[in-house]
A and B are shown apart, each in its own frame.
Chain A
Amino acid sequence: MDIKVDHVVDAKGLACPMPIVRTRKAMNDLNAGQVLELQATDKGSVADIQAWAKSTGHQFLGTQQENDVYRHYVRKSEPDEVKEEITFPHSVRNEELEGLLESSREFHILDVREPAEYAFGRVRGSRNIPLGELPQRIGELNPEDEMYIICRTGNRSNMAANLLTEKGFKNIINVVPGMSEWTGIVERDEFELKNKIKPIGGK
Protein backbone atom coordinates (compact mmCIF):
# COMPACT_ATOMS: atom_id res chain seq x y z
CA MET A 1 0.00 0.00 0.00
CA ASP A 2 1.17 3.50 -0.68
CA ILE A 3 1.85 5.81 2.22
CA LYS A 4 1.78 9.53 1.58
CA VAL A 5 5.29 10.96 1.92
CA ASP A 6 7.00 14.25 1.10
CA HIS A 7 9.97 12.85 -0.81
CA VAL A 8 10.91 9.54 -2.45
CA VAL A 9 14.51 8.40 -2.96
CA ASP A 10 14.91 5.65 -5.55
CA ALA A 11 18.05 3.66 -4.74
CA LYS A 12 16.83 0.41 -6.27
CA GLY A 13 19.68 -1.62 -7.76
CA LEU A 14 22.35 0.36 -5.91
CA ALA A 15 24.88 -1.19 -3.56
CA CYS A 16 26.05 -0.02 -0.15
CA PRO A 17 26.72 2.79 0.74
CA MET A 18 24.66 4.42 -2.02
CA PRO A 19 21.20 4.12 -0.41
CA ILE A 20 22.48 5.93 2.67
CA VAL A 21 24.42 8.53 0.67
CA ARG A 22 21.35 9.29 -1.46
CA THR A 23 19.17 9.56 1.63
CA ARG A 24 21.61 11.92 3.27
CA LYS A 25 21.60 14.20 0.22
CA ALA A 26 17.82 14.18 -0.10
CA MET A 27 17.38 15.06 3.58
CA ASN A 28 18.86 18.49 2.83
CA ASP A 29 15.79 19.32 0.73
CA LEU A 30 13.29 18.33 3.41
CA ASN A 31 11.87 20.50 6.16
CA ALA A 32 11.86 19.25 9.72
CA GLY A 33 8.87 16.99 10.29
CA GLN A 34 8.63 15.85 6.68
CA VAL A 35 8.80 12.19 5.75
CA LEU A 36 11.15 10.52 3.28
CA GLU A 37 10.67 7.13 1.64
CA LEU A 38 13.83 5.26 0.60
CA GLN A 39 13.31 2.52 -1.98
CA ALA A 40 16.16 0.03 -2.08
CA THR A 41 16.99 -3.51 -3.11
CA ASP A 42 20.20 -3.66 -1.03
CA LYS A 43 19.47 -6.10 1.82
CA GLY A 44 21.98 -4.27 4.01
CA SER A 45 19.79 -1.17 3.84
CA VAL A 46 17.35 -2.73 6.33
CA ALA A 47 19.88 -2.50 9.15
CA ASP A 48 21.77 0.49 7.74
CA ILE A 49 18.85 2.90 7.54
CA GLN A 50 18.05 2.27 11.20
CA ALA A 51 21.67 2.76 12.25
CA TRP A 52 21.90 5.86 10.08
CA ALA A 53 18.75 7.33 11.63
CA LYS A 54 20.14 6.61 15.08
CA SER A 55 23.46 8.35 14.43
CA THR A 56 21.94 11.35 12.66
CA GLY A 57 19.02 11.77 15.07
CA HIS A 58 16.27 11.37 12.49
CA GLN A 59 13.19 9.31 13.30
CA PHE A 60 13.03 5.86 11.71
CA LEU A 61 9.36 4.92 11.19
CA GLY A 62 9.44 1.48 9.64
CA THR A 63 10.11 -0.70 6.64
CA GLN A 64 7.78 -2.57 4.35
CA GLN A 65 8.80 -5.05 1.71
CA GLU A 66 7.28 -5.81 -1.65
CA ASN A 67 8.98 -8.64 -3.50
CA ASP A 68 12.65 -7.59 -3.56
CA VAL A 69 12.06 -3.90 -2.89
CA TYR A 70 12.34 -2.43 0.58
CA ARG A 71 10.60 0.83 1.41
CA HIS A 72 12.05 2.55 4.44
CA TYR A 73 10.35 5.55 6.05
CA VAL A 74 12.25 8.26 7.93
CA ARG A 75 10.99 11.53 9.37
CA LYS A 76 13.37 14.48 9.50
CA SER A 77 14.00 15.67 13.03
CA GLU A 78 14.01 19.23 14.29
CA PRO A 79 17.47 20.81 13.99
CA ASP A 80 18.03 21.47 17.69
CA GLU A 81 15.30 19.30 19.15
CA VAL A 82 13.91 22.46 20.68
CA LYS A 83 10.66 21.43 22.25
CA GLU A 84 7.86 23.88 22.32
CA GLU A 85 6.22 24.24 25.65
CA ILE A 86 3.00 22.33 26.07
CA THR A 87 0.49 25.07 26.75
CA PHE A 88 -2.88 23.39 26.31
CA PRO A 89 -4.60 23.23 29.71
CA HIS A 90 -6.59 19.99 29.33
CA SER A 91 -4.50 16.87 29.13
CA VAL A 92 -4.43 13.22 30.12
CA ARG A 93 -1.52 10.83 30.46
CA ASN A 94 -1.22 7.88 28.10
CA GLU A 95 -2.35 5.51 30.86
CA GLU A 96 -5.62 7.39 31.37
CA LEU A 97 -6.46 7.13 27.68
CA GLU A 98 -5.59 3.45 27.81
CA GLY A 99 -8.07 3.08 30.67
CA LEU A 100 -10.76 4.92 28.73
CA LEU A 101 -10.33 2.52 25.83
CA GLU A 102 -11.47 -0.25 28.17
CA SER A 103 -14.58 1.69 29.21
CA SER A 104 -17.86 2.00 27.37
CA ARG A 105 -17.54 5.77 27.07
CA GLU A 106 -17.95 7.28 23.62
CA PHE A 107 -15.12 9.51 22.42
CA HIS A 108 -12.84 10.12 19.46
CA ILE A 109 -9.06 9.93 19.09
CA LEU A 110 -7.39 12.20 16.55
CA ASP A 111 -3.79 11.34 15.61
CA VAL A 112 -2.06 14.41 14.09
CA ARG A 113 1.21 12.72 13.05
CA GLU A 114 2.28 12.13 9.44
CA PRO A 115 0.56 9.28 7.55
CA ALA A 116 3.75 7.17 7.56
CA GLU A 117 4.06 7.43 11.34
CA TYR A 118 0.40 6.49 11.72
CA ALA A 119 0.76 3.55 9.30
CA PHE A 120 3.48 1.89 11.40
CA GLY A 121 1.68 2.09 14.74
CA ARG A 122 -1.30 3.88 16.25
CA VAL A 123 -3.94 3.65 18.96
CA ARG A 124 -6.73 1.34 17.91
CA GLY A 125 -9.70 3.29 16.57
CA SER A 126 -7.82 6.55 16.14
CA ARG A 127 -8.20 8.67 13.06
CA ASN A 128 -5.36 10.40 11.21
CA ILE A 129 -5.29 14.03 10.09
CA PRO A 130 -1.70 15.37 9.99
CA LEU A 131 -1.22 18.68 11.78
CA GLY A 132 -0.34 20.41 8.51
CA GLU A 133 -3.69 19.45 6.97
CA LEU A 134 -5.82 20.17 10.01
CA PRO A 135 -6.76 23.78 9.16
CA GLN A 136 -8.17 22.70 5.77
CA ARG A 137 -9.85 19.54 7.04
CA ILE A 138 -11.34 20.88 10.25
CA GLY A 139 -14.80 20.62 8.68
CA GLU A 140 -14.53 16.82 8.78
CA LEU A 141 -14.71 16.94 12.58
CA ASN A 142 -17.64 17.59 14.90
CA PRO A 143 -17.02 20.46 17.36
CA GLU A 144 -19.30 18.81 19.96
CA ASP A 145 -17.33 15.54 20.13
CA GLU A 146 -15.14 14.59 23.05
CA MET A 147 -11.81 14.32 21.27
CA TYR A 148 -8.37 13.14 22.46
CA ILE A 149 -5.51 14.52 20.39
CA ILE A 150 -2.35 12.44 20.13
CA CYS A 151 1.03 12.66 18.37
CA ARG A 152 4.50 11.34 19.13
CA THR A 153 5.62 13.50 22.06
CA GLY A 154 2.74 15.88 22.79
CA ASN A 155 4.00 18.86 20.79
CA ARG A 156 2.02 18.62 17.59
CA SER A 157 -1.05 17.52 19.52
CA ASN A 158 -0.62 20.59 21.73
CA MET A 159 -0.73 22.82 18.66
CA ALA A 160 -3.68 20.93 17.23
CA ALA A 161 -5.58 21.14 20.51
CA ASN A 162 -5.05 24.89 20.70
CA LEU A 163 -6.16 25.29 17.10
CA LEU A 164 -9.32 23.22 17.51
CA THR A 165 -10.29 25.04 20.69
CA GLU A 166 -9.82 28.41 18.97
CA LYS A 167 -12.15 27.17 16.26
CA GLY A 168 -14.89 26.50 18.79
CA PHE A 169 -14.35 22.83 19.65
CA LYS A 170 -15.63 22.34 23.16
CA ASN A 171 -14.18 19.13 24.45
CA ILE A 172 -10.58 18.74 23.38
CA ILE A 173 -8.00 16.85 25.46
CA ASN A 174 -4.27 16.57 24.72
CA VAL A 175 -2.65 13.16 25.31
CA VAL A 176 0.86 13.30 26.83
CA PRO A 177 3.47 12.18 26.14
CA GLY A 178 1.90 10.32 23.21
CA MET A 179 2.90 7.46 20.94
CA SER A 180 6.64 7.58 21.79
CA GLU A 181 5.76 6.00 25.12
CA TRP A 182 2.52 4.23 24.30
CA THR A 183 2.39 0.82 25.98
CA GLY A 184 -1.18 -0.11 25.06
CA ILE A 185 -2.39 -2.07 22.07
CA VAL A 186 -0.91 -0.86 18.81
CA GLU A 187 -2.68 -1.21 15.50
CA ARG A 188 -0.78 -0.99 12.20
CA ASP A 189 -1.45 -1.24 8.49
CA GLU A 190 -1.38 -4.69 6.96
CA PHE A 191 0.72 -4.06 3.92
CA GLU A 192 -0.74 -5.51 0.78
CA LEU A 193 1.40 -7.50 -1.57
CA LYS A 194 2.09 -5.87 -4.88
CA ASN A 195 0.68 -8.74 -6.90
CA LYS A 196 -2.69 -8.80 -5.25
CA ILE A 197 -5.33 -8.66 -7.98
CA LYS A 198 -7.51 -5.59 -7.81
CA PRO A 199 -11.16 -5.77 -8.85
CA ILE A 200 -11.91 -4.07 -12.15
CA GLY A 201 -12.99 -0.52 -11.48
CA GLY A 202 -12.06 -0.90 -7.83
CA LYS A 203 -9.88 1.53 -5.98
Chain B
Amino acid sequence: MNRKHRTKNPNNNKLMLAFHFLRALARINKSTSTVSSYQRSCIIKRAAYASMAHAAGPRRAWSRALLYRLRRGSSRLHALPAIRRTRSFSHKRVKVASPKLREPNQADVLRRLVPGGEAMELSSLLKETAHYIQCLSAQVWLMQNVVGSITS
Protein backbone atom coordinates (compact mmCIF):
# COMPACT_ATOMS: atom_id res chain seq x y z
CA MET B 1 0.00 0.00 0.00
CA ASN B 2 2.73 2.41 0.91
CA ARG B 3 4.71 1.40 -2.11
CA LYS B 4 1.82 2.05 -4.38
CA HIS B 5 1.50 5.47 -2.88
CA ARG B 6 5.10 6.18 -3.40
CA THR B 7 5.09 5.25 -7.03
CA LYS B 8 2.07 7.33 -7.90
CA ASN B 9 2.90 10.05 -5.47
CA PRO B 10 4.99 12.49 -7.48
CA ASN B 11 2.39 13.22 -10.10
CA ASN B 12 -0.55 12.97 -7.79
CA ASN B 13 1.21 15.12 -5.30
CA LYS B 14 1.90 17.83 -7.82
CA LEU B 15 -1.63 17.80 -9.11
CA MET B 16 -3.11 17.98 -5.65
CA LEU B 17 -0.70 20.70 -4.78
CA ALA B 18 -1.63 22.68 -7.83
CA PHE B 19 -5.29 22.22 -7.15
CA HIS B 20 -5.12 23.38 -3.59
CA PHE B 21 -2.77 26.21 -4.19
CA LEU B 22 -4.52 27.60 -7.20
CA ARG B 23 -7.83 27.42 -5.54
CA ALA B 24 -6.41 29.25 -2.57
CA LEU B 25 -4.91 31.79 -4.89
CA ALA B 26 -8.21 32.28 -6.58
CA ARG B 27 -9.87 32.72 -3.28
CA ILE B 28 -7.28 35.21 -2.16
CA ASN B 29 -7.57 37.04 -5.38
CA LYS B 30 -11.27 37.12 -5.12
CA SER B 31 -11.26 38.55 -1.66
CA THR B 32 -9.59 41.73 -2.78
CA SER B 33 -9.61 43.36 0.56
CA THR B 34 -7.35 46.27 1.04
CA VAL B 35 -4.37 44.65 2.57
CA SER B 36 -0.81 45.62 2.17
CA SER B 37 1.42 43.77 -0.14
CA TYR B 38 3.29 42.28 2.75
CA GLN B 39 0.15 40.99 4.37
CA ARG B 40 -0.94 39.60 1.09
CA SER B 41 2.35 37.81 0.72
CA CYS B 42 1.95 36.40 4.17
CA ILE B 43 -1.48 35.16 3.29
CA ILE B 44 -0.20 33.62 0.13
CA LYS B 45 2.64 32.00 2.00
CA ARG B 46 0.25 30.48 4.47
CA ALA B 47 -1.91 29.30 1.61
CA ALA B 48 1.13 27.72 0.03
CA TYR B 49 2.01 25.83 3.18
CA ALA B 50 -1.58 24.84 3.73
CA SER B 51 -1.88 23.46 0.24
CA MET B 52 1.38 21.64 0.70
CA ALA B 53 0.16 20.06 3.88
CA HIS B 54 -3.15 19.15 2.31
CA ALA B 55 -1.49 17.60 -0.66
CA ALA B 56 0.86 15.62 1.53
CA GLY B 57 -2.01 14.12 3.41
CA PRO B 58 -2.59 13.44 7.07
CA ARG B 59 -0.20 10.54 7.08
CA ARG B 60 2.88 12.63 7.55
CA ALA B 61 3.77 14.03 10.89
CA TRP B 62 5.01 17.26 9.47
CA SER B 63 1.83 17.89 7.49
CA ARG B 64 -0.27 17.32 10.57
CA ALA B 65 1.87 19.60 12.64
CA LEU B 66 1.87 22.22 9.93
CA LEU B 67 -1.87 22.23 9.61
CA TYR B 68 -2.24 22.40 13.32
CA ARG B 69 0.09 25.33 13.44
CA LEU B 70 -1.80 27.07 10.67
CA ARG B 71 -5.12 26.44 12.24
CA ARG B 72 -3.97 27.91 15.46
CA GLY B 73 -3.23 31.03 13.52
CA SER B 74 0.34 31.40 14.61
CA SER B 75 1.84 34.42 13.00
CA ARG B 76 5.21 32.85 12.46
CA LEU B 77 5.56 29.73 10.44
CA HIS B 78 9.26 29.39 10.80
CA ALA B 79 11.55 29.55 13.74
CA LEU B 80 14.57 30.90 11.97
CA PRO B 81 14.78 34.21 13.78
CA ALA B 82 14.49 32.52 17.12
CA ILE B 83 17.69 30.66 16.62
CA ARG B 84 19.66 33.80 16.06
CA ARG B 85 18.15 35.53 18.98
CA THR B 86 18.99 32.73 21.30
CA ARG B 87 22.58 32.67 20.25
CA SER B 88 23.14 36.37 20.60
CA PHE B 89 21.55 36.36 23.96
CA SER B 90 23.75 33.58 25.17
CA HIS B 91 26.83 35.44 24.03
CA LYS B 92 25.97 38.65 25.79
CA ARG B 93 24.44 37.63 28.99
CA VAL B 94 25.29 34.13 29.91
CA LYS B 95 28.82 33.60 31.02
CA VAL B 96 28.52 30.01 31.95
CA ALA B 97 27.11 27.78 29.28
CA SER B 98 24.03 26.42 30.87
CA PRO B 99 22.52 23.37 29.27
CA LYS B 100 19.44 25.28 28.24
CA LEU B 101 21.35 27.81 26.18
CA ARG B 102 23.85 25.44 24.71
CA GLU B 103 24.80 25.74 21.10
CA PRO B 104 22.01 23.99 19.24
CA ASN B 105 23.36 21.12 17.33
CA GLN B 106 22.29 20.29 13.87
CA ALA B 107 19.52 17.96 14.87
CA ASP B 108 17.89 20.69 16.91
CA VAL B 109 18.17 23.12 14.06
CA LEU B 110 16.57 20.63 11.76
CA ARG B 111 13.87 20.02 14.27
CA ARG B 112 12.96 23.65 14.26
CA LEU B 113 12.91 23.79 10.51
CA VAL B 114 10.73 20.83 9.91
CA PRO B 115 7.27 21.33 11.34
CA GLY B 116 6.48 18.83 14.00
CA GLY B 117 10.05 17.79 14.37
CA GLU B 118 10.42 18.83 17.94
CA ALA B 119 9.23 15.61 19.44
CA MET B 120 10.90 13.22 17.07
CA GLU B 121 13.96 11.13 17.33
CA LEU B 122 16.62 11.39 14.73
CA SER B 123 15.64 8.54 12.45
CA SER B 124 12.02 9.63 12.08
CA LEU B 125 13.15 13.22 11.88
CA LEU B 126 15.27 12.36 8.88
CA LYS B 127 12.40 10.53 7.27
CA GLU B 128 10.08 13.46 7.75
CA THR B 129 12.75 15.79 6.48
CA ALA B 130 13.05 13.79 3.29
CA HIS B 131 9.34 13.99 2.62
CA TYR B 132 9.24 17.62 3.62
CA ILE B 133 12.00 18.44 1.18
CA GLN B 134 10.11 16.65 -1.56
CA CYS B 135 6.95 18.60 -0.95
CA LEU B 136 8.78 21.87 -0.49
CA SER B 137 10.53 21.51 -3.80
CA ALA B 138 7.21 20.66 -5.48
CA GLN B 139 5.66 23.72 -3.96
CA VAL B 140 8.51 25.92 -5.07
CA TRP B 141 8.28 24.51 -8.56
CA LEU B 142 4.58 25.19 -8.67
CA MET B 143 4.90 28.71 -7.44
CA GLN B 144 7.67 29.44 -9.87
CA ASN B 145 5.50 28.21 -12.70
CA VAL B 146 2.56 30.26 -11.55
CA VAL B 147 4.66 33.36 -11.33
CA GLY B 148 6.26 32.58 -14.64
CA SER B 149 3.00 32.08 -16.41
CA ILE B 150 1.53 35.18 -14.90
CA THR B 151 4.42 37.40 -15.72
CA SER B 152 4.95 36.01 -19.19
Q: Are A and B physically bound partners?
A: no
B interface vs A, CB < 8 Å?
A: none
